[in-house]
Amino acid sequence: MQVHPIHYSERHAALQGKRLIAFDLDGTLIDSVPDLAAAVASTLNELGLSAPSEMEVRNWVGNGAPVLVERALTWALKAAPEPALLQRGYDVFMEHYGAAPNSLTTLYPGVTQALQALHQQGLTLVLITNKPERFIEPLLRHFGLLDYFTLCIGGDSLPEKKPHPLPLLHAARHCQVPPEACVMVGDSRHDIAAGKAAGFTTLALPYGYNHGEPIESSHPDLVLSSLTELLATPLKTPGID
């Protein structure tokens, strides 16, 4: 079957005058919790502790891998873990997650089409995640998204991570785009807080991970139901219904 490209007429109103779009990764482009939860479960089992459900892990994602491991250990022990156990837990988690970062992970609907169209429209796309940097490239490559991004920043790439504005300001400076021409697209309050602090326009997606809270509580500039909403009306390809 022949697949026809979809052509989009204009940019979404929220993108008028914008030159750079920063995307969050987990909960925005990819539903990564199934693999994160499996790695957390294997980690706790290896340490002789009981494993949490995927639902529990979903609410712990957002502040990077060290905090995810700390939340998991605190849940299993019902107390704050000692620094040595925390370090061991982190090392074991990185091994397990690194061995299978994309077995159960899926792309959210419309992600590829949206990135492709925005890239074609000449916008600079960057990725800003709190996930450790080493996982970014293999995941983006696996899903065929790597070439859309000019720059990728992980949670351990710079001295500060989201909700701090540093990674966003670093990306804007690196790409020579003023913050007022930049947009942050994300699923969590950390994306929105970082975006506001950096002077970016903030767009939120409600389907990801936000510690169990509605993303509207963070007062983003706009909430979209999916990334395809970032695209303006599709133009009909001549001769195709």
Ligand X SMILES: O=C(O)COP(=O)(O)O
Give the number of residues in contact with ligand X, rule: CB under 6 A: 14
For residues 62 and 208, give the distance between their C-alpha atoms in angstroms, rounded to a whole number.
10
Of 124 and 188, nearer to Mg ion (C-beta) is 188
Name the phi and psi angles at 156, rounded to 5.
-115, 15
For residues 179 and 173, give the distance between their C-alpha atoms in angstroms, rounded to a whole number.
9
69 binds, among ligand X, Mg ion, none (CB under 5 to 8 A by kind): none
Answer for the pair 53, 34: CB distance below 8 angstroms, yes or no. no
Q: Catalytic residues, which ones?
A: 24
61 binds ligand X (CB under 6 A): yes
For residues 240 and 225, give the distance between their C-alpha atoms in angstroms, rounded to a whole number.
27
Q: Are strands 222-223 and 201-204 parallel, antiparallel or unpaired?
A: parallel
Among 52, 64, 195, 220, binds ligand X (CB under 6 A): 64
210 binds ligand X (CB under 6 A): no
26 binds ligand X (CB under 6 A): yes
70 binds ligand X (CB under 6 A): no
Nearest alpha carbon to residue 114 among 200, 31, 28, 175:
28
195 binds ligand X (CB under 6 A): no
Among 23, 26, 40, 135, binds Mg ion (CB under 5 A): 26
For residues 195 and 200, give the distance between their C-alpha atoms in angstroms, rounded to a whole number.
5
On whether 241 is known to bind a ligand per the annotation, the reply is: no
27 binds Mg ion (CB under 5 A): yes
Among 130, 201, 202, 218, binds ligand X (CB under 6 A): 130
Answer for the pair 62, 190: CB distance below 8 angstroms, yes or no. yes
Residue appearing with tokens 């767009």: 203
81 binds Mg ion (CB under 5 A): no
Among 42, 124, 129, 218, binds ligand X (CB under 6 A): 129
On whether 31 is known to bind a ligand per the annotation, the reply is: no
Is the bond leading into 163 cis (omega within 30 degrees of zero)?
yes
For residues 180 and 9, give the distance between their C-alpha atoms in angstroms, rounded to a whole number.
24
Which residues contact ligand X (rule: CB under 6 A)?
A: 24-27, 61-64, 68, 129-131, 162, 188
Residues that bind Mg ion (CB under 5 A): 24, 26-27, 187-188
Residues in binding site for Mg(2+): 24, 26, 187
Binding site per annotation, positions: 24, 26, 187
